Amino acid sequence: MNTDFTVFLDRDGVINRRLPDGRFVRCWSEFEFLPGVQEAVRLLNENGIRVILVTNQRGISLGLYSEDDLLHLHKQMAAALRRHAAKLNGIYYCPHAEGACACRKPGIGLFEQAFRDFGEAAPSRSVVVGDSLSDMQAAQKLGSMKVLIGSIDRTMQSKARATRIHIDFVADSLLSAVQRYILPTHGRKSSKKL
């Protein structure tokens, strides 16, 4: 792959539907792709854009599921994406409790590991797509473009202002973000570059 651009995706709320009441997705039977995700990842792949999943999974530290359970879920997720001619170039996860590590978002440890693993990747040529302020804070620390999936309510607006986070784009889905913001600027047919 000859790519100079990377899209980092959060998982819950971007790739798959969040469970109600803040419950954790613990196994494949609880996992449900959000509409258009497979197409969005495929479009990124077809445009030579590296796609990396970066996800906090503190349910492991809480004993709600094991690391093996998570790896099995991610293996099934990757297989389901492949059936739609879509693939992730890497999957990075933090199994730790809040405040116990440097890798948990809004920390940037997982991103730094990805940059080490993919030597041609760089924060200035990356976009972080997430559905939470912690995703946007990580992107801000990296100096990467920030795309929020969902809507900015008053609480998030005030938190973003208080932490001086400027969200570059807001989209209602990953597919919308890819079609409206990422490909027009960074796709193969785009004349614009970062």
Q: Which of 4, 10, 68, 168 is labelled catalytic?
A: 10
Averages of pLDDT over each 10 residues, the chain, 194 residues: 81 97 95 98 97 97 97 98 98 95 96 96 96 94 95 78 88 96 83 42
Q: Which of 12, 69, 131, 168 is labelled catalytic?
A: 12
- What is the predicted pLDDT for the residue at 191? 43
Query: Is 14 domain-assigned?
Result: yes
Query: Is 1 domain-assigned?
Result: no
Active site residue 10: yes
The enclosing domain of 104 has a CATH number of: 3.40.50.1000
Q: What is the dihedral of CA 65, 67, 72, 73, to 10 degrees?
A: 60
Query: Is 136 domain-assigned?
Result: yes
Is the C-alpha dihedral spanning 146, 112, 156, 55 positive or negative? positive
Given a contact cutoff of 8 angstroms between Cβ atoms, the answer to whether 105 and 54 are in contact is: yes
Query: Is 65 domain-assigned?
Result: yes
Structural domain total, the chain: 1
Query: Is 57 domain-assigned?
Result: yes
Give the CA distances from residue 169 to residues 25, 28, 131, 145, 151, in Å, rounded to whole numbers and listed in that order.
27, 30, 12, 9, 10
Query: Is 111 domain-assigned?
Result: yes
Active site residue 12: yes
- What is the predicted pLDDT for the residue at 190? 55
